[in-house]
């Protein structure tokens, strides 16, 4: 085969209890439906011109030279409840190239599959492909999508659906839950090995567990503020879906909001709204507290550890708020900080919530001061806009450029993603290709893609999203 992947597999060299060596299960008739050539180049892949080879490798049917396939062990708190037994139940890490994990998702059963079939269907595979690449184009740290392959097999989810495999790329797949499971098992050797590996891979300047926690907190605080600033709702922020690297991971029931409301929830399984839009900053702090707990056994003096970790956790809400304020200032055109800015921001958000204004389009319309169109009660908006315009007058630089860079014109709207999936299932990949092209430059004027900026009509609105299982 001409395909070459420059593997160097550091995870496979970790203590054996951290993973299960396990090969993907071959599929019937793999067919490549998407491949990310730019990302492949970043990973150092060569010989990527044979579609058939790509389909074989990225469906898990052929193991490429140098790969050491394995399923990673982890646990996690799901909706606040401890689940001691998780792990890659349908994902298999092929290995690492140029410092990135290359992982197949939907590649068959593993020792951690429990009652699952180890498979994925085409819908969630394309959903993750589009959403993760859209997030990347928006500038948000995220796992990436390298390939999508239809398997030619059926997957059963209440009904028979076309099977698919997604190749996901991340700087690593180490999660809060990866630490948690070793701490819970009191496996100090494993925990220490994972800790050292994590420092080498992500935080070479960190020296101890407190440093590590602070570094992860800093990245997660920035990440969540970033999500908030683009109206992104992850939907399933369990500790096993919270990456140490600070990348967005696990695109299950996630969604971008259309009309703004802080309590928005899409996930069909989030009945209490634990992972609602406005709860995300609190939840990530909770997740970091679970990471801190898992790191305690690594500290020689546990009382001192608890004191230091507690300080770090207590400092996190202010960090998130600081990033949030910086990002939302930019969204209304402000690079400088003044008293009263936050009131201005929350004033607009309150108005948007009251009137169900479209999150993305309202902020984008601020660029040319046309946001009044987004409100039913226009005078109420004008009352907000007058002091805002006065504040902009005093702003040095180019507020319009600031807003254009902070307020995307295009997001992956739910109804467009659903339409894209329905078309692909019927064999038409035109909407997928078009969505991918449009979402690659979300801050540009949408031009020929202006239909993709339109909010859903009543009958297009997606009320619920589902996990990929
Ligand atoms: P997720 O909701 O994708 O974060 O997955 C939660 C847990 O369920 C992880 O341990 C997954 O590996 C596992 N899982 C999800 N879907 C499947 C499946 N189809 N087969 C086996 N395990 C699965
Ligand atoms: Mg997960």
Whole-number pLDDT of residue 466? 77
- Specify the residue with its C-alpha closest to ligand 1, atom 12: 89
Record the pTM.
0.97
* C-beta 119 within 6 A of ligand 1: yes
* C-beta 75 within 6 A of ligand 1: no
Give me ligand 2 centre to Cα 91, in Å.
Answer: 10
Helix (H) or strand (E) holding 163: strand 159-170
The ligand with the least distance to the CA atom of 252 is 1
How much is the average pLDDT of 161-167? 98
pLDDT, tens only, 76-100: 999 999 999 999 999 999 999 999 9
**Banded model confidence at residue 464, pLDDT cuts 50, 70, 90:** confident
pLDDT, tens only, 386-414: 999 999 999 999 999 999 999 999 999 99
Give me ligand 1 centre to Cα 88, in Å.
Answer: 7
Per this entry, what is the length of the chain? 469
Residues 6+ away with beta carbon under 8 Å from 328: 229, 345
Cα–Cα–Cα angle for 434, 439, 444, rounded to 5 degrees: 115
How much is the average pLDDT of 435-440? 98
Among 116, 153, 270, name the best residue to mutate to test ligand 1's pocket (greatest count of ligand atoms within 8 A of Cβ): 116
User: Residue 240 CA: which ligand 1 atom is closest?
Assistant: 4
Give me ligand 1 centre to Cα 86, in Å.
Answer: 8
pLDDT, tens only, 319-355: 999 999 999 999 999 999 999 999 999 999 999 999 9
Whole-number pLDDT of residue 319? 98
Under DSSP, is residue 419 helix (H, G, I), strand (E, B) or coil? helix
* C-beta 113 within 6 A of ligand 1: yes
* C-beta 241 within 6 A of ligand 1: yes
Give me ligand 1 centre to Cα 444, in Å.
Answer: 36
Give dist(CA 345, CA 324) in Å, integer. 11
pLDDT of 460 over the 80 cut: yes
pLDDT, tens only, 367-378: 999 999 999 999
| 408, 444 contact by CB (below 8 A) | no
158-176: burial string, b at 16+ Cβ within 10 Å, e else = eeebbbbbbbbbbbbbbbb
Backbone angles phi, psi at 417, to 5 degrees: -65, -45
How much is the average pLDDT of 235-249? 98
- Going 198 to 181 to 227 to 38, the CA torsion angle's sign is positive
Query: Please, what is the average pLDDT of the chain?
Result: 97
* C-beta 168 within 6 A of ligand 1: no
Give me ligand 1 centre to Cα 35, in Å.
Answer: 24
Give me ligand 1 centre to Cα 322, in Å.
Answer: 34
- Specify the residue with its C-alpha closest to ligand 1, atom 15: 469
User: Residue 106 CA: which ligand 1 atom is closest?
Assistant: 19
The label of the residue with tokens 């859903």 reads 456
- Specify the residue with its C-alpha closest to ligand 1, atom 2: 467
The ligand with the least distance to the CA atom of 116 is 1
The 3-state secondary structure of the chain reads CCCECCECCCHHHCCHHHEEECCCCCCCCCEEEEECHHHHHHCCCECCCCHHHHHHHCCCCCCCCCCCCEEECCCEEECCEEECCCCCCCEEEEEEECCEEEEEECCCCCCCCCCCCCCEEHHHHHHHHHHHHHHHHHCCCECEEEEEEEEEEEEEECEEEEEEEEEEEECCCCEHHHHHHHHHCCCHHHHHHHHHHHHHHHCCCCCCHHHHHHHHHHHHHHHHHHHHHCCEECCCCCHHHCECCCCECCCCCCEECCECCCCCCCECCCCCCCCCHHHHHHHHHHHHHHHHHHHHHHCCCHHHHHHHHHHHHHHHHHHHHHHHHHHHHHHCCCCCCCCCHHHHHHHHHHHHHHHCCEHHHHHHHHCCCCHHHHCCCHHHHHHHHHHHHHHHHCCCCCHHHHHHHHCCCCCCCHHHHHHHHHHHHCCCCHHHHHHHHHHCCCCCCCHHHHHHHCCCCCCCCCCCECCCC
Give me ligand 1 centre to Cα 210, in Å.
Answer: 31
Catalytic residues: 240
Give dist(CA 310, CA 204) in Å, integer. 23
How much is the average pLDDT of 169-196? 98
| 362, 260 contact by CB (below 8 A) | yes
pLDDT of 469 over the 60 cut: no
- Specify the residue with its C-alpha closest to ligand 1, atom 7: 86
pLDDT of 174 over the 70 cut: yes
Q: Which two tokens stand for residue 335?
A: 């690079």
- Specify the residue with its C-alpha closest to ligand 1, atom 16: 469
The label of the residue with tokens 């071959």 reads 26
User: Residue 467 CA: which ligand 1 atom is closest?
Assistant: 2
Whole-number pLDDT of residue 468? 64
* C-beta 105 within 6 A of ligand 1: no
- Specify the residue with its C-alpha closest to ligand 1, atom 13: 89
Q: Domain spans of the chain? A: 11-170, 174-407
pLDDT of 427 over the 90 cut: yes
Percentage of the chain modeled with pLDDT above 70: 100
* C-beta 128 within 6 A of ligand 1: no
């Amino acid at each position: 085969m001409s395909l070459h992947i420059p593997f160097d597999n550091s995870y496979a060299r970790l203590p054996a209890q951290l993973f299960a060596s396990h090969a993907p299960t071959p599929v019937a008739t793999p067919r490549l439906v998407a491949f990310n050539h730019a990302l492949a180049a970043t990973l150092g892949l060569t010989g990527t011109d044979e579609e058939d080879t790509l389909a074989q490798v990225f469906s898990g049917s052929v193991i490429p030279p140098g790969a050491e396939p394995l399923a990673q062990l982890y646990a996690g708190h799901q909706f606040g409840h401890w689940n001691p037994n998780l792990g890659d139940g349908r994902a298999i890490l092929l290995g690492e190239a140029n410092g990135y994990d290359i992982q197949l998702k939907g590649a068959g059963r593993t020792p951690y599959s429990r009652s699952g079939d180890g498979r994925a269907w085409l819908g969630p595979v394309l959903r993750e492909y589009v959403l993760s690449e859209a997030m990347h184009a928006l500038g948000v740290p995220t796992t990436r999508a390298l390939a999508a392959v239809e398997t030619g097999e059926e997957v059963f989810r209440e009904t028979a659906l076309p099977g698919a495999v997604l190749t996901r790329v991340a700087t690593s797949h180490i999660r809060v839950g990866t630490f948690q499971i070793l701490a819970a098992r009191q496996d100090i050797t494993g925990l220490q090995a994972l800790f050292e590996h994590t420092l080498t891979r992500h935080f070479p300047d960190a020296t101890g567990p407190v440093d590590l926690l602070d570094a992860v907190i800093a990245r997660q605080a920035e990440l969540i503020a970033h999500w908030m600033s683009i109206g992104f709702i992850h939907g399933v922020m369990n500790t096993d879906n919270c990456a140490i690297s600070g990348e967005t991971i696990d695109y299950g029931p996630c969604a971008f909001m259309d009309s703004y409301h802080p309590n928005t929830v899409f996930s069909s399984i989030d009945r209490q709204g634990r992972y609602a839009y406005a709860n995300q900053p609190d939840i990530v702090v909770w997740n970091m507290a679970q990471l801190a707990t898992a790191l305690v056994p690594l500290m020689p003096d546990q009382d001192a550890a608890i004191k230091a970790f507690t300080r770090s956790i207590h400092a996190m809400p202010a960090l998130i708020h600081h990033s949030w304020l910086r990002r939302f200032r930019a969204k209304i055109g402000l690079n400088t900080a003044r008293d009263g800015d936050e009131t201005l921001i929350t004033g607009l958000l309150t108005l948007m919530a009251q009137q169900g204004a479209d999150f993305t389009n309202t902020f984008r319309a601020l660029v040319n001061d046309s946001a009044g169109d987004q409100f039913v009660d226009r005078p109420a908006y004008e009352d907000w806009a007058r002091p805002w315009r006065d504040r902009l007058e005093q702003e040095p630089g180019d507020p319009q450029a600031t807003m254009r860079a902070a307020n995307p014109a295009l997001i992956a709207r739910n109804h467009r993603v659903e339409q894209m999936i329905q078309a692909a299932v019927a064999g038409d990949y035109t909407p997928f290709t078009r969505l991918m092209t449009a979402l690659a430059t979300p801050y540009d004027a949408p031009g020929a893609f202006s239909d993709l900026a339109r909010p859903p009509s009543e009958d297009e609105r997606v009320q619920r999203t589902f996990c990929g299982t």
